[in-house]
Amino acid sequence: MGMSIKKGDTVKILSGKDRGKQGTVLRAYPAEGKIKVEGVQMVKKAVRPNQQNQQGGIVSQEAKIDASNAMLVCPKCGAATRVGHKQGELDGKRTKIRVCKKCGHEF
């Protein structure tokens, strides 16, 4: 599938009610091609009382969105950009490195 968005990335939302928003990826689901982004696609959910929330009730939480509806934001130049890929080393491991098409930053 080749999803290039990972947990901790900043992305810009391209469609839906949160179009134009930027947020941090809370979790990536590469097998499904989906991500959860902080503050994006909030849904209300009823929860039973538990340790953290002794009252129970309605909470807002992020729902998964298609990774194809989000674009990576380059951590260096801040452009929402399609990224290229190259083979390289990151943290001492051979891996696919993402390259910002705008500024050339590798991340």
> Could you list the residues that contact Zn ion (CB under 5 A)?
74, 76-77, 100, 102-103, 105
Alpha carbon distance 30, 60 (integer Å): 24
CB of 57 to Zn ion, least distance (A): 43
Are 7 and 1 in contact, with CB atoms under 8 Å apart?
A: no
If the CB atoms of residues 25 and 41 are measured against Zn ion, the closer one turns out to be: 25
Taking the least distance from each CB to Zn ion, the nearer of 25 and 100 is 100
Helix (H, G, I), strand (E, B) or coil at 71: strand
Report in angstroms how near the CB of residue 100 gets to Zn ion at its nearest. 3
Minimum CB–partner distance for residue 24 and Zn ion (Å):
17
Q: Which residue has the tokens 């941090």?
A: 24
Tell which residue, 59, 44, 1, 4, has the closest CA to residue 28: 4
Please say which residue, 64 or 105, places its beta carbon nearer to Zn ion: 105
